[in-house]
Amino acid sequence: MLDSRQLEERQASDSEVEGIWNKAVRSLNSSMLPRLDPDAAFTLLYQGALQASTAVVRASGHRVRGDGHHHHTFFAVAALGAGALSGAARDLNVIRQQRHGAIYDWERTTDEAALSALTAAARKLFAAGEAWLIAERPRLALAPPPFPD
């Protein structure tokens, strides 16, 4: 990905990583509001997972560039090879294709199965991402994800 310039080496400050992560947690919180339309819940939950993945990529000293940045962000996180974090990113890269339907497909609504699959992948990503970020940058003050234990 570095050779194709889809990913570039660029260091991020702790405050940038914290800011992106905390924004991800806010998106996640918003996705859980009661009586939220399933398409809106899916879109906000997906956005939170993408933002959390971006925080991990930035903390690793990289930045995703150009077209296809959602795919490249999840691919970069998966390439870190960090067990559950990589698995969650791979799952999200597959689920990513459903985002288009949640936003643009006027003939259907996101179903419970799609929302459940995204919730499971996001739960894994947030848990593993938080652990990875704390291990890599122990001084970070990260907002905790709101998933119940």
pLDDT digits (tens, 9 = 90+) for 109-141: 888 999 999 999 999 999 999 999 999 999 999
Q: What SS3 state is found at 9?
A: strand
The mean per-residue pLDDT over the stretch 23-43 comes to 94
| Cβ count within 10 A of residue 137 | 14
- pLDDT band of 2, cuts 50, 70, 90: very low
pLDDT over 70 (residue 23):
yes
Q: Among residues 117, 91, 88, which one has the least CA distance to residue 102?
A: 117
pLDDT digits (tens, 9 = 90+) for 72-95: 898 888 888 778 888 888 888 888
Contacts of range 117-121, beta carbons closer than 8 Å, 24 or more positions apart: 117/91, 118/42, 118/45, 118/46, 118/49, 118/92, 119/45, 120/91, 121/49, 121/88, 121/91, 121/92, 121/95
Range 7-136 classified under CATH 1.10.760.10: no
pLDDT over 90 (residue 58):
yes
